[in-house]
């Protein structure tokens, strides 16, 4: 739980949220993703589709991989692409790709026809990342995005994140790792009795 929290983030920028376990990092991301309703205040995405809620213009990449084990790897992505709608935004220039293109980009194209249950933990994580590519949305909300990734996959993830920012996208990520992102703002959450929360950092 947190209160008196406000920030803004300009297009092409990332907000890295840090703090101790249980301080509210994941809760903040879930609130931005529309999974937890805020008790007070509002969330606005300026420049996005006026008739579409901010959470429907964002991807949420959480701790769970959201993989259906009985479906093939490609079918998982086809389901996600059919279930979600792209969210075009002024100044954001990323196109959606096909499931096979996304799988090839993440280096798991060879698994396309396998049941997702056969994937390793790292492969499932990369499959989950593919969801960010098959439906183009300007906001990425990412909770410990490097979890279960090997060093090579982590490097590739950072390349994808920087490409998203370079195209005018936004990223809000909770992490304990140092992420080499191009344009980063920091938000450190801490207990209210320890110090005032540093906030004023930005979501258009």
Average pLDDT over residues 177-202: 68
pLDDT digits (tens, 9 = 90+) for 117-161: 999 999 999 999 999 999 999 999 999 998 888 899 999 999 999
Q: What percent of the chain has pLDDT over 70?
A: 91
Task: Please determine, for residue 43, whether its predicted confidence score (pLDDT) is greater than 90.
Answer: no
- Taking the domains of the chain in order of start, what are their residue ranges? 14-189
| 146 CB-side CA count, 13 A | 16
Burial of 84 (0-12, 13-18, 19+ CB in 10 A): middle
Q: What is the pLDDT of residue 45?
A: 85
Q: What is the pLDDT of residue 49?
A: 67
Domain 14-189 fold is Rossmann fold (3.40.50)
Listed residue (113, 131, 110) closest to 67, CA to CA: 131
- Relative to beta strand 184-189, strand 14-19 is parallel
How far apart are the C-alpha atoms of 112 and 134, rounded to whole Å? 14
């Amino acid at each position: 739980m947190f209160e008196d929290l406000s920030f803004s983030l300009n297009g092409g920028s990332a907000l890295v949220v840090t703090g101790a376990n249980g301080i509210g990092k994941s809760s903040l991301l879930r609130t931005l993703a529309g999974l937890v309703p805020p008790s007070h205040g509002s969330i606005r995405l300026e420049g996005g589709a006026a008739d579409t809620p901010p959470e429907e213009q964002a991807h949420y990449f959480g701790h769970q991989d959201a993989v259906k084990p009985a479906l093939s790897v490609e079918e998982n992505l086809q389901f996600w692409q059919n279930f979600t709608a792209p969210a075009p935004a002024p100044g954001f220039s990323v196109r959606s790709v096909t499931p096979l293109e996304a799988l090839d980009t993440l280096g798991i194209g060879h698994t396309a026809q396998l049941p997702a249950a056969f994937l390793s933990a790292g492969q499932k994580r990369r499959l989950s990342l593919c969801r960010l590519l098959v439906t183009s949305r300007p906001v990425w909300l990412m909770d410990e995005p490097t979890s279960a990734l090997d060093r090579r996959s982590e490097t590739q993830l950072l390349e994808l994140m920087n490409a998203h920012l370079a195209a005018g996208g936004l990223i809000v990520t909770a992490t304990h790792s140092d992420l080499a992102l191009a344009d980063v703002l920091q938000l450190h959450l801490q207990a209210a009795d320890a110090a005032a929360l540093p906030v004023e950092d930005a979501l258009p």
